[in-house]
Structure 1
Amino acid sequence: MPPRPTTQLRKICLALPEAEEVEAWGEPTFRIRNKIFAMQASAGNHHGAGRTAVWLKAPPGMQELMIRADPERYFSPPYVGPKGWLGIQLDQDADWDEVARFVRDAYRLIAPKRLAKQLDAEG
């Protein structure tokens, strides 16, 4: 049985320098110095609309590009979607290596330069 999405997402996010988990709106959010870079939206919560997903800060244009490429997997999340955040469905066939890359990219957008450089140095 594959690990639960929350377990996998937590493992990826909390491996980043100084990242921490804070529950907000009934969901785990992942932050660097109190700025959110990732948030889980659970299937049973209205945020997830029946499917577990992660919402991530994304660089300009990435949301549109990914939704166009695979609208079943990627979406514009409520509340933060208009700001360019990217939603990724975390179903049974989630590509966790890809999710990890998007999480690291989101972290780099939020993290202070010193921490982003530390992440880059770690590989």
Structure 2
Amino acid sequence: VFTIFADKHHGDTRTTVWLPVPDGLQPGLIAATPQTFFSPPYLGVRGWVGIDLATIRKADLQYHICSAWSLIAPKRLRAAHPEI
């Protein structure tokens, strides 16, 4: 699993995606853009971020999803798909 879609999870009013980011990046993303990035329940302690889909540009979301896939995918699978 490299992304989780959460629609109003446990009473949250947002529609979001949760995904892993490179080590150390989570605090900076949240501090710089708290209206878009947040620490999701359960996975925030593992360095994942939540992204509010209503506040992020499509190109930025695509970048973060591709980056998350690259962090999780096995080496051979990444090598077979260099375009990602």
TM-score calculated relative to the size of structure 2: 0.90
1:50 aligned partner: 13
SS of residue in 2 equivalent to 1:37: coil
Work out which structure has the larger RCO, using CA pairs closer than 8 Å and 6 or more positions apart in sequence: 2
User: Could you tell me which of 55, 61, 84 is aligned with 1:99?
Assistant: 61
Deviations 1:15-53 (A, max 9, x none): xxxxxxxxxxxxxxxxxxxxx10001102x31x611001
Distance in 1 between the 2:19 and 2:39 partners?
10
2:81 aligned partner: 119
Identity %: 42
SS of residue in 1 equivalent to 2:35: coil
Runs of 5+ consecutive residues of structure 2 not aligned to the other structure: none
1:69 aligned partner: 32
Return the index of the structure with the highest Cα Rg: 1
Moved over 4 A (4+): none
Q: CA RMSD in A?
A: 1.5
Runs of 5+ consecutive residues of structure 1 not aligned to the other structure: 1-35
| Count of paired positions | 84
